[in-house]
Amino acid sequence: MICQRCNYESDNSSRVCPRCGGFLENYAGDGKASSIRQGKSHNLPPVSGGSYSDYARYDSFSGDSARPDHHRGVSGERSSASQKRRHHANGSFRPVKPRGINFMLLCTILLGILLVSVAALFVVAVKTPMGHLFLMNYAAGDEEKEAQMIDMIGEEAAATALWHIGTDQIDQGYIVRSIETYIRAYELYPEIDGLYEHLLELADAYEAAGLNSEAEKVYKQLYSEVDASNPLAYRYAISIMMDQDRLFEATELMAQAYTNTGEMSFKSQREQLVPLAPTATLEAGRHMLEKDTALQSPQGYDVYYLLDDDVNELPENGMLYTQPIHLTEGTHTIRAVCVSSNLISDESVLKYTIWFPAPSAPKSRVLSGEYDVRKRIYLYMDPEAGDTEGQKITIYYTIDGTMPNSESPIYTDEGFLLPGGRVTVRAVAVNQYGKVSNELVQTFRINVPYKKFFRDEDDQFKDFTVGKSTYADVKKKYGAGREETVTDENAPGGEALCVTYDWGEARFTMSGQTLYSVSTNYASMVGPRSTKVGMKLSEVTEQFRDMGQVANARGNRSVYYDEYTGYAKYYQETESTGRLEYVYWREDNGITTLTYEITNGNVSRISMELTGVKLP
């Protein structure tokens, strides 16, 4: 009988195709069972419970079906109802074998996944910081395991992990454990990157545990061995000393910190604690005739001193100052300190040279005091004191604040006029032997308007600022000039970028290109206080404070002198040339010098230069 489905010819007695499992039909006959077996009928006998169309709908097989008893001959879409409709030739149900599970294949896959996962975990543990942290945490408290982990990941990685573990421990409140972990990490790999910050963490843990002495040792190691220029360790160590009232040690460390770091805060903090150094009523230097000098503390503290002694220590071996020190002819050195409780000031060293005989001091016909008008001062020598007998007397005086000497103006009978403001008149008499009299010192306050001293914060060129302006700033105004690198001992690093313009020259630092020196000979350039090239010398001095002191025999003239601000002086170089120099002492220890070159009484060039300070 031929299968309608797959064209397979089977035995006439078969009702089901042995190849595809489909029902066989008889092409001839009357539809009875015998006709079907003989293959004569095309119609199947009626089946109870459904028609042929039902069988055709439910009895479908997968495309790779072969034998009906094979498990692949069961349709993936057949429901349990369709299976019940499938019959044998005798009308009974035909069961379908279920699909089996390949346990061997499944186990192989799972084992492979496990091996890959283990390998990945090993790589993560050995090669990543997170893995290092896990391994060192796992080995915590077990020296043998810890040694194995260190061999596996290396000392540096293990130490890094331990520093992190110690931080976690202190965050969780386990301070003692964190200290032990930090110490283990440091001992394991002392050369680790970021050692300064790590040791700060250790010191912080010590402080948290109340072990300030141990913390102080760590801070000392940091500023002595690790990084002397970092201010943090100094600051924390000073804080511990201050809390323990160890003021002397704290101030000593402040001085060291300021020297090594340059941080002004250390200097300011120390100055607030340490007494100011003692001063003397007699200015150190060369003096004529015997002198007395009084030592004093600006804040009223005890003063201890040593005279002509460079060996012994102060204040331990010093003498308590009670009365002025008498200096006889010769050279003398006074070393002195101020003492407050257990704090000691910086040491003052005063050197004097004394010689005699000498005439007595000149006298003045105007008394010291305050006046509302300018006063003319007349000096004289007292004949009754024998000052003129057998001697040729010359009186030297100053009104600029400096001590008179042979370079000071010589007094004439015309006298001299005092300027406005506070004025100190100082004068000495010198005989023909070069012996100098005692000094006449008078103080006055003249209540008339006067100009201010030169200060670089206020007095700058109109178009740029020395110490602040950059080459880029100058370019905006004047464009690029002719550039070259020059050697300059006043420049940071010894080299400077020199830029030349038609109006003059500007010099900049090499790194930050900050202007530190400028010079011009152009009348169109406006200098400090609107001064310009071409102005008369007197027109320039009128713009600044001028004490009115006359020139000495060489033509040099001191314009003013202030021990806290600076000085101004005119130097006569040749008969027709000279220079007027204003010097300002900055608070950062820098020096700003403003110079006017004078030719035939007029300004021929203006220059300004900043030295002694670190610029970018």
Q: What is the mean pLDDT of residues 213-223?
A: 93
Task: Render pLDDT for 339-352 as a digit per residue (tens, 0 to 9).
Answer: 987 788 889 999 99
Q: What is the mean pLDDT of residues 164-192?
A: 89
Assess whether 266 and 371 both reside in one domain.
no
Assess whether 189 and 248 both reside in one domain.
yes
**Lowest mean pLDDT segment, chosen from 53-57, 144-148, 308-312, 470-474:** 53-57
Task: Tell me whether residue 11 is exposed, middle or buried, using C-beta atoms within 10 angstroms of its C-beta: 0 to 12, 13 to 18, 19 or more.
Answer: exposed
Tell me, rounded to whole angstroms, the distance of Cα 47 from its chain centroid: 100
Q: What is the pTM of this model?
A: 0.43
The pLDDT assigned to 28 comes to 41
Assess whether 92 and 115 both reside in one domain.
no
Band the pLDDT of 567: cuts 50, 70, 90.
Answer: very high
Last residue of one domain, picked from the residues 238, 273, 308: 273
How crowded is residue 95: how many other Cβ atoms within 10 Å of its Cβ? 7
The pLDDT assigned to 98 comes to 59
Residue 222 is given by DSSP the state I
pLDDT of 489 above 70:
yes
Helical spans, DSSP H, in 25-79: 33-38, 52-58
Band the pLDDT of 387: cuts 50, 70, 90.
Answer: low
Q: What is the mean pLDDT of residues 499-517?
A: 95
pLDDT of 365 above 90:
yes
The pLDDT assigned to 369 comes to 94
Residue 462 lies in a domain: no
Specify the number of domains making up the chain: 5
The pLDDT assigned to 116 comes to 67
Strands (E), 308-420: 319-320, 325-327, 330-340, 343-344, 348-355, 363-364, 369-371, 376-377, 379-380, 394-398, 416-417
Assess whether 328 and 442 both reside in one domain.
no
Task: Render pLDDT for 227-274 as a digit per residue (tens, 0 to 9).
Answer: 999 999 999 999 999 899 888 888 889 989 999 999 999 988 888 888
Residue pair 509/491 in contact by the 8 Å Cβ criterion: yes
Q: What is the mean pLDDT of residues 371-396?
A: 82
Q: What is the mean pLDDT of residues 608-612?
A: 94
Residue 316 lies in a domain: yes
Assess whether 43 and 95 both reside in one domain.
yes
The pLDDT assigned to 124 comes to 55
Task: Render pLDDT for 70-94 as a digit per residue (tens, 0 to 9).
Answer: 444 444 444 444 444 444 444 444 5
Q: What is the mean pLDDT of residues 521-538?
A: 95
Assess whether 394 and 421 both reside in one domain.
yes
Assess whether 154 and 242 both reside in one domain.
yes
How crowded is residue 336: how many other Cβ atoms within 10 Å of its Cβ? 27
CATH of the domain at 213: 1.25.40.10
Mean pLDDT score of the chain:
83
The pLDDT assigned to 13 comes to 64
The pLDDT assigned to 184 comes to 87
pLDDT of 56 above 80:
no
Residue 543 lies in a domain: yes
Assess whether 493 and 599 both reside in one domain.
yes
Task: Render pLDDT for 123-149 as a digit per residue (tens, 0 to 9).
Answer: 555 657 777 777 777 677 777 777 877
H or E stretch covering 240: helix 231-243
Assess whether 286 and 247 both reside in one domain.
no
150-158: long-range contacts (C-beta < 8 A, 24 or more apart)? 150/188, 152/126, 153/126, 155/188, 155/189, 156/189, 156/192, 157/129, 157/132, 158/132, 158/188, 158/189
Q: What is the mean pLDDT of residues 565-594?
A: 95
Kindly state the percentage of the chain with pLDDT values over 90.
51
Residue 301 lies in a domain: yes
**Rounded distance between C-alpha atoms, residue 151 and residue 140, angstroms:** 15
The pLDDT assigned to 80 comes to 47
Task: Render pLDDT for 438-453 as a digit per residue (tens, 0 to 9).
Answer: 899 999 999 999 999 9
Residue 227 lies in a domain: yes
The pLDDT assigned to 42 comes to 46
Q: What is the mean pLDDT of residues 102-130?
A: 68
Task: Render pLDDT for 166-176 as a digit per residue (tens, 0 to 9).
Answer: 898 888 888 99
Last residue of one domain, picked from the residues 305, 339, 355: 355
Residue pair 232/257 in contact by the 8 Å Cβ criterion: no
The pLDDT assigned to 411 comes to 92
Residue 209 lies in a domain: yes
- Find out whether the peptide bond into 45 is cis, omega within 30 degrees of 0: no
Nearest to 332 by CA among 312, 353, 317, 313: 353
Band the pLDDT of 159: cuts 50, 70, 90.
Answer: confident
pLDDT of 95 above 70:
no
CA 336-427-453 angle, to 5 degrees, is: 75
Residue 186 lies in a domain: yes
**Rounded distance between C-alpha atoms, residue 552 and residue 571, angstroms:** 10
Question: What is the extent of the structural domain holding 30?
Answer: 1-100
Assess whether 515 and 597 both reside in one domain.
yes
Nearest to 72 by CA among 92, 95, 54, 98: 98
CATH of the domain at 411: 2.60.40
Band the pLDDT of 97: cuts 50, 70, 90.
Answer: low
pLDDT of 181 above 80:
yes
The pLDDT assigned to 37 comes to 41
Task: Render pLDDT for 63-73 as a digit per residue (tens, 0 to 9).
Answer: 444 444 444 44
Assess whether 309 and 196 both reside in one domain.
no
Last residue of one domain, picked from the residues 100, 124, 148: 100
Assess whether 10 and 93 both reside in one domain.
yes
The pLDDT assigned to 76 comes to 44
pLDDT of 599 above 90:
yes
Residue 460 lies in a domain: no
Q: What is the mean pLDDT of residues 193-206?
A: 92
**Rounded distance between C-alpha atoms, residue 15 and residue 86, angstroms:** 12
The pLDDT assigned to 102 comes to 72
The pLDDT assigned to 39 comes to 45
